[in-house]
Amino acid sequence: MNAELLTQINAFSPDSAAEAKAKALLIRLLAERGDRLFQRESEDIHITVSAMILDPSLQQTLMVFHHIYRSFCWTGGHADGEQDLLAVALREAGEETGAAELYPLSGAILSIDLLPVPAHEKYGKAVAAHKHITITYGLIADTAQKLAIKADENSAVAWLPTDELSTHCSEAHMLPIYDKLLQRMRRMVAEKESCLSALPELLLPWYAAHARPLPWRQDHQPYHVWLSEIMLQQTRVEAVKRYYSRFIASLPDIRALAEAPEDALFKLWEGLGYYSRARNLQRAARQICTQHNGCFPQDYVTIRALPGIGDYTAGAICSICFDQTTPAVDGNVLRLLSRLREDFRCSDLPAIKKEAFHLLQPLYCRNPGHRSELTQGLMEIGATVCLPKGRPHCEICPLQKICLAYRSHSADRLPLRSRKRPRRNEMLTVFLLQLTDGRIAVRRRPAQGLLAAMWELPNLNSMLNDQAALQQAHLWGVQPQAMRAAIQRNHIFTHIEWQMTCYHIICAHAAAGFTWASAQQLEGEIALPSAFRQFLTAAGLA
């Protein structure tokens, strides 16, 4: 028996004698029959799953005209052995209505009902009268999407006004159940709208006691906050700590950043990846120097217009440094809000991110003097407690009592994200060309594109065997003497994965077309992206 489902069943609170009886019967039969109760072979009574589907305004419900019941009714079907009943509800609703976009209003069970099924014929076979223990979930769907009937079960599918169900539903015994479900779904929506109101009073004391002593939190200087936020994009906090401290020591202010040679800037950034971030930092620093006399601007619109600064970074700088009402909404915050509000919509959609900003802004308006702590507290709890990939530490979360996903036992299902396109695979042959005096061949990449203008080891966009690699080395004029090793490595970018074979070749001639860099230059001057530097490490040269 699925432990999560049993938890959901036990958590369900009946509000009528009929529901209490249905829940008690379900628990007893599960103990007696176990998994057989999820199969149709349990002929006298078995589990089915239904869904009450509403539009986002909660004013219309999506129903099907069912052959057996000769009435418009909810969607549903047999569990047929499946114990993730929420998944069954979504599957059946999609199959019966044709709706491609459905999401749960909650992961909690909406209703447990004991319902009669009249004798009927299905697929040419007589089915005796029996009973269903029906477990119902609430779903939301947009009215604009295309609908289609499931011809073997239904003859129509339609959006019906919720206040006209008695006109369309001829099963009188179902009308009170539908009304009950409508009221519960409306109550759930009201809870979603109000659950964040107590967030500051719970979050702020927790942050004061549990904030990590990160180096960029020692003050609220815009340069420090800006730099840390850019570094933290796509990068773990532990990795950023040492980069941040080294960067500040070398480039202590905006003018120093603006005036730094690009190679020196990239050397400070080496290993962090996503080098366009460093370029944009310097572009923005130069713009601040020329347009704002080196002083960081203080209004959101001007900050947002700086190169490399998006809504999140602008919100973070304005709230942390200038106590402004600008929430900073990133993946951590979206994940937290998704769970607090038990929101089963895809959290990475632009509309959801925009909505999150407007949901949080009233909290900022009501907490002047604490907006920095609000922003950093949301970041902190998302990074240390409300973790991704189904691993939230709900047992220590200060927001537990307002978290709807915790109450519904659905936190490990959230957030949902849009399906990403698979990365494109590219095959590369990389050449670690080394002279007998130890110098290594490097060259500049093109000024546009991936790793633009960065240093690289020579490479080709094809996979060569060792003989073809030696032949290429001859063509470059490096006079290859010996091949020491073939090293296999992969490197993952956001949308591309490089599958690389690197040939370590000892050469006799420092041919033109390459820069032959000493170990000291590779260590102190030349910023070599980690996609290539990993081969120096593998060969024992770094």
Q: Flag whether 429 is in a domain.
A: yes
What's the CATH code of the domain at 246?
1.10.340.30
DSSP code, position 416: B
Can you say how many angstroms the Cα of residue 319 is from the centroid of all Cα atoms in its chain?
24
Q: Which among 19, 92, 229, 380 is annotated as catalytic?
A: 229
Q: Flag whether 479 is in a domain.
A: yes
- Please, what is the average pLDDT of the chain? 94
Mark whether 120 and 163 lie in a shared domain: yes
- In a 3-state reduction of DSSP, which class is residue 131? strand
Each residue of 7-62: pLDDT tens digit?
999 999 999 999 999 999 999 999 998 898 998 776 788 899 999 999 999 999 99
- In a 3-state reduction of DSSP, which class is residue 454? coil
Tokens of 127: 């089915």
CB neighbours of residue 528 within 10 Å: 24
Mark whether 404 and 430 lie in a shared domain: no
Mark whether 216 and 309 lie in a shared domain: yes
Taking Cα atoms as reference points, which of 182, 287, 170 lies closest to residue 226?
287
pLDDT of residue 26: 94
pLDDT of residue 67: 82
Mark whether 26 and 152 lie in a shared domain: yes
Q: How confident is the model at residue 391 (pLDDT cuts 50, 70, 90)?
A: confident
Mark whether 308 and 163 lie in a shared domain: no
pLDDT of residue 153: 84
pLDDT of residue 502: 97
pLDDT of residue 1: 67
What is the C-alpha separation between 397 and 381, in angstroms, rounded?
Answer: 8
pLDDT of residue 58: 96
Q: Flag whether 260 is in a domain.
A: yes
Mark whether 140 and 34 lie in a shared domain: yes
- Mean pLDDT computed over 164-170: 93
pLDDT of residue 40: 79
Q: Flag whether 94 is in a domain.
A: yes
Exposure string of 61-87, with b = 16+ CB inside 10 Å and e = fewer, is bbbbbbeebeebbbbbbbbeeebebbe
Q: Flag whether 109 is in a domain.
A: yes
229 in catalytic set: yes
What's the CATH code of the domain at 66?
3.90.79.10
Q: Where a domain ends, among 134, 155, 170?
A: 170
Euclidean distance between the first and the last CA atom of the chain, given in angstroms as a whole number: 54
Question: How many domains, in total, are found in the chain?
Answer: 3
Q: Flag whether 186 is in a domain.
A: no
Please provide residue 229's backbone torsions phi and psi, each rounded to the nearest 5 degrees. Answer: -65, -40
Evaluate if residue 239 carries a pLDDT over 70. Answer: yes
Evaluate if residue 323 carries a pLDDT over 90. Answer: yes
- Mean pLDDT computed over 113-138: 81
Q: How many helices (H) and strands (E) does the chain have?
A: 20, 17
- Mean pLDDT computed over 254-275: 94
Mark whether 255 and 399 lie in a shared domain: yes
Q: Which helix (H) or strand (E) holds 292?
A: helix 276-292
Q: Flag whether 60 is in a domain.
A: yes
Mark whether 9 and 67 lie in a shared domain: yes
Structural contact between residues 333 and 379, judged by C-beta atoms closer than 8 angstroms: yes
Mark whether 238 and 138 lie in a shared domain: no
DSSP code, position 81: T
Tokens of 166: 């008695």
Each residue of 175-202: pLDDT tens digit?
999 999 999 999 999 999 999 999 999 9
Mark whether 442 and 395 lie in a shared domain: no
- Mean pLDDT computed over 150-160: 92
Q: Where a domain ends, among 155, 170, 185?
A: 170
Q: Flag whether 178 is in a domain.
A: no
- Mean pLDDT computed over 86-111: 96
DSSP code, position 423: P
Mark whether 244 and 385 lie in a shared domain: yes
Can you say how many angstroms the Cα of residue 289 is from the centroid of all Cα atoms in its chain?
36
Each residue of 423-482: pLDDT tens digit?
999 999 999 999 999 999 999 999 888 999 899 999 999 999 999 999 999 999 999 999
Strand-pairing partners, residue 116, are 131
What percent of the chain is modeled with pLDDT above 90? 84
Domain boundaries, position 202: 198-413
- Mean pLDDT computed over 365-390: 96
pLDDT of residue 42: 65
Structural contact between residues 495 and 422, judged by C-beta atoms closer than 8 angstroms: no
Q: Where a domain ends, among 391, 413, 435?
A: 413
Mark whether 459 and 396 lie in a shared domain: no
Evaluate if residue 134 carries a pLDDT over 80. Answer: yes
